[in-house]
Chain A
Amino acid sequence: MNHAQSDWTVDFLKQLNTTGCEVEQIDIASTALWQIESNHWQQFAELALQQDLRWVAGWAEHIQDRFFINACFEKQGVYVLLRTIVNAAKLDLPSQATVYPAASRSERHTQDMFGINFIGHPDNRRWTRHKAWPKHSYPLHKDFPVQGTPEPITLPDMDYPFIKAHGAGVYEIPVGPVHAGIIEPGHFRFQAVGELILNLEERLGYVHKGIEKIAEGRTPESLARLAGRVSGDATIGHCWAACMAMEQAAGIEIPPRAALIRGILAERERVANHLGDMGAICNDVAFMFAQMQFTRLRELWLRTNAKVFNHRLLMDRIIPGGVVCDLSDSSCALIKQDIVQLRKELSDILPAVDLNSSLEDRLYTAGYLPPETAAAFGTLGYVGRASGQDKDVRRDAPYPPYDQVIFKVPVETQGDVASRFWMRYKEIKVALKLIEQFIAHLASGDILAEWQTPPTGSESLGMVEGWRGEIVTYIRFGADNKIARFYPRDPSILNWPALERLVLDNIVPDFPVCNKSLNGSYSGNDL
């Protein structure tokens, strides 16, 4: 991680000072921590936007009778953790969402979970809270019991104030939470005229499982297991980010061999998910050939996972301090052979897909996300990169083993479903090369570092490029090796709002393919 202060932080600190926004710099593992007075909270965001800082994440923490409110910003691969402290007696804070639309839902989550009142927030309706707990109680307050006081049956959230549309011929289509396919639950409210989508409003939070609350008091191993289930398709990404944060807090360096194996795991996860998505995108426009081919390739890929790593989806392969499974020479040979085979298959299938005019007709120009919108919402991963957002943690803030290899990050500005489809293919190609490089770098050695109990109160941020994009995870340890705070920021939290924009003026029947091309995680969003 980048401990050295890059140029922009020095200049920015000066600028903050001259505008009267005093910054206290605190040393924590891995990231710069800047603490400011709460009345400067919004002003900081305004200055940050002027300097082109990207809003990354926001979360809070309850410590005795005070609340730590955190926001994370990034520029040129350097992350800054911003903090202010508000007193329990007055939980007011000027909103940053007025400056950064990306912060909007995150602040609503903090409002629901902590009771922080973000003054001036453009949309302070509840977000994560439905009916599982009452309005004036806040699950992430330390005195809120894990079990809560739920009713025998939690009522549906019937009175959520959705945006209404009026006018001749305008009608509403409510969809979900239970969807027609085998997918996660969430609610979509469309306003349409004829087939055209005028407005889409997402209502998520259905799979809120209290992850942040049940993380408290866990041991590092147990937290890693939970992190691996924040969003099951990104189990490696989340588990790695959480372990990275815990390891930094504990001052542990993982062995080089463990880092390389983590890299192989992460790239294998990326390939598996992209293969699945490419098939599913084609399936949503009824092109079964591609769906069958891609699901076949995905299955072969997962079978190799099972053979080599003992788990098809790679759960619990990463643990604090390293990894659980070593790679034998024969496993490496199998992985390499698989890559050769996959490349050959893809070079057969992709031209057939590319030349298909009906596919072209459905995917090109559909679900266009302009680069400016993507920038405003901080859109991440392949969705962002298909809309000109040239961001990748692996390259911008390289962590082992990515600091040992050279690779390309594909970026496009076409921004439509087709672009998000082809972006996945490009990323698969990069991932395959990375796996080969990691295998070539493997030298014999340990795969697990000895754990040591981190000092009470130590905190850290872990950042990795998951298959959906940047994952940022905050960890604070309490006494006796126990977790005091865990906040995983899945890329979906920033990508979901982009869906509301990119479907506008598309036809309702194209919604599934637009949605699939983004493929946000509901579970990672709802926590």
Chain B
Amino acid sequence: MLRLFKKILTTGIVTESFKTPKDDELEQLGIEIKRHLDKEFSGSIAIREVDAGSCNACELEIHALNNPFYDIERFGIHFVASPRHADVLLVTGPVSRHMQTALLRTYEATPNPKWVVAVGDCAACGGEFGVSYASCGAVSNVIPVDVAIPGCPPTPLALMKGLLGLMKG
């Protein structure tokens, strides 16, 4: 137990803060997200992530948003387990045809008002997979999309920026 506390104490807080000028872009983004959140969503949004056919790399970077460096929850953005609790769907991948109905149902299960963010080149435009017998291509071919965040995969910072775009839209 002591080792554990010692490590926690010696690690300190790595979350990138406004005072560290080096990576301050992150903090500026976060603060701006927070301002918009306060206005439109009373301080927080709940995100349901849906992998509709991704290669899983987009998921890895979305995961990173919760690591101690980005700690996106401090800005009132948190991930939820059910679309019924969500304000925003974060959708990755080209939509595989085998996931089309599942995505449509997830969309329907999300209460209004709701926003859809297409994450990654695949979700934005079909990416490397495009439209085929097995793939519907871009998310907007299946459900309405409010913001697309390009990148293959988008970096955590790009994801933060994209979410900001949603708030401004």
Contacts and interface: CB of A to CB of B under 8 A. Distances in A.
Contact of B55 (A178, A182, A229): A229
7 closest pairs, A vs B, by CB? A148-B133, A232-B57, A210-B134, A232-B55, A132-B97, A180-B81, A295-B67
A132 B53 CA distance: 14
A293 B132 contact: no
Given A150-B97, A276-B60, 5 more contacts: A154-B97, A207-B53, A208-B96, A289-B7, A306-B155
Contact of A299 (B54, B64, B127): B64
Nearest to A230: B55
A224 B136 CA distance: 22
Contacts of B98: 130-132, 154, 157, 205-208, 526
B73 interface: no
B69 interface: yes
Given A207-B53, A296-B67, A178 B60 contact: no
Contact of A185 (B14, B83, B99): B99
A315 interface: yes
A184 B59 contact: yes
Contacts of B44: none
B149 to A, nearest CB: 15
Interface of A: 130-133, 139, 144-150, 153-157, 177-178, 180-185, 205-211, 213-214, 225-226, 229-233, 235, 276, 289, 292-293, 295-296, 298-299, 302, 306, 312-313, 315, 348-349, 351-352, 355-356, 521-523, 526
A213 B134 contact: yes
Contact of A180 (B4, B11, B69, B82): B82
Contacts of A180: 81-82
A146 B67 contact: no
Interface string B37-62: 00000000000011111111111111
A207 B99 contact: yes
B131 interface: yes
Nearest to B103: A178
Q: Which of B54, B67, B100, B106 has the most CB of A within 10 A?
A: B67
B115 interface: no
Nearest to B127: A229
Contacts of B67: 292, 295-296, 298-299
20 contacts: A132-B97, A132-B133, A139-B133, A147-B131, A153-B104, A182-B51, A182-B59, A183-B51, A185-B51, A206-B96, A207-B96, A209-B53, A229-B127, A233-B56, A295-B63, A295-B67, A296-B68, A298-B64, A315-B152, A351-B3
B66 interface: yes
Contact of A184 (B7, B51, B69): B51
Contacts, number: 175
Contacts of B132: 146-148, 209-210, 213-214
Please classify the interface of chain B as helix (H, G, I), strand (E, B), loop, or mixed, using the class held by over half of its residues.
mixed
B101 A235 contact: no
Interface of B: 1, 3-4, 6-8, 10-11, 14, 49-64, 66-69, 79, 81-83, 93-94, 96-102, 104, 106, 127-135, 152-153, 155
B7 A349 contact: yes
A232 B102 contact: no
A229 to B, nearest CB: 4
A156 B102 CA distance: 7
Nearest to B155: A312
A133 B97 CA distance: 9
B133 A146 contact: yes
Contacts of B101: 153-156
